[in-house]
Amino acid sequence: MTNKYIYFVANWKMFGNLKSLNSLNKVISFLKKFKKNKIKLIYCPPATLLKPLSDKIKTTKIKVGAQNCHENENYGANTGQINSSMLKSVGAKYVILGHSENRHLGEDDNLINLKIKNSIKSGLKIIFCIGESYSQRRKKITKKILLHQISRGLRQIKNKKNIIIAYEPIWAIGSGLIPKDTEIFNIIKFIKKKVKGSKVLYGGSVNTKNINVLKKIDNVDGFLVGGASQNSNNFIDIIKKTFN
Ligand code: PGA
């Protein structure tokens, strides 16, 4: 697992204010000592912190990502919305799309597909989230669900080189539960077979303890970390343990 780039994506969700950015100082100095390892570190703060965060990490290897965007890449009369070109203009290089917390609010595969297409046009890289619910897992239809999300979400997108897939079982998010390592391995294998050449991250309750198991999954390209990324010590610990 150490001879390829490993992604660590911090998804801060609706947490954090200007003061929270001070916690990045630790991560920045940690990174300086951690130069030899191949890591891609992406911070996805709330939209209010995109600009100050990109200013802060300008001279570091950290990249900035947004947590969602409107489907139209042009300006429009859409109160409260932000589009992908606006995100790009404040320093975002990535955008998380298809997160289950937004699917839950009514985003469907077609809308997500449109968001992905237009965000790519704006020059952003995509962290495309897919995952099954607990009842779908119990019905053993996980692969069917994932395939559905992949084929609809990535419809008519020929060049997928700017798309990273994050496998996030809905029931694992924020619950402290994770699938068995062999299950994650098999699902990632399945996703990589369906989307040739794709990088696949695992997300859902990644923490300083279970990372010791997760890091051993051969085909995982990194981790999408929610709760544990809000505390710099924990996040650094997760990164360190991955390479130990
Ligand atoms: P969690 O969130 O690590 O807090 O489970 C992950 C996510 O929702 O991306």
Instruction: Tell me, yes or no, if 168 is annotated catalytic.
Output: yes
In the predicted structure, residue 3 carries a pLDDT above the cut 60: yes
121 alpha carbon – ligand 1 mean position (Å):
27
Pocket test for ligand 1, best of 9, 97, 101, 206 (most atoms within 8 A of CB): 206
Tokens of 131: 């995952």
In the predicted structure, residue 1 carries a pLDDT above the cut 60: no
- What rounded mean pLDDT belongs to the chain? 97
Residue nearest to atom 2 of ligand 1 (CA): 226
Q: Is 44 exposed, middle or buried (0-12, 13-18, 19+ CB in 10 A)?
A: buried
What is the pLDDT, as a whole number, of residue 2? 56
What is the pLDDT, as a whole number, of residue 243? 93
What is the pLDDT, as a whole number, of residue 71? 98
In the predicted structure, residue 53 carries a pLDDT above the cut 80: yes
What is the pLDDT, as a whole number, of residue 235? 98
What is the pLDDT, as a whole number, of residue 38? 92
Give pLDDT tens digits for 16-35.
Answer: 999 999 999 999 999 999 87
115 alpha carbon – ligand 1 mean position (Å):
21
Q: How far is the CA of 161 from the CAs of 44, 55, 113, in angstroms? A: 20, 27, 15
Instruction: Tell me, yes or no, if 148 is annotated catalytic.
Output: no
Pick the catalytic residue: 71, 99, 107, 132? 99
Domain annotation covers residue 1:
no
Residue-number span of the structural domain to which 223 is assigned: 6-243
Ligand 1 pocket, 132 CB below 6 A? Answer: no
Closest ligand 1 atom, residue 100 Cα: 8
Per the structure, the count of domains in the chain is 1
Ligand 1 pocket, 226 CB below 6 A? Answer: yes
- Mean predicted confidence (pLDDT) in 219-231: 98
Domain annotation covers residue 195:
yes
- Mean predicted confidence (pLDDT) in 189-211: 97
For residue 49, give the CATH number of its domain.
Answer: 3.20.20.70
Pocket test for ligand 1, best of 205, 230, 234 (most atoms within 8 A of CB): 205
Give pLDDT tens digits for 136-148.
Answer: 999 999 999 999 9
Residue nearest to atom 9 of ligand 1 (CA): 226
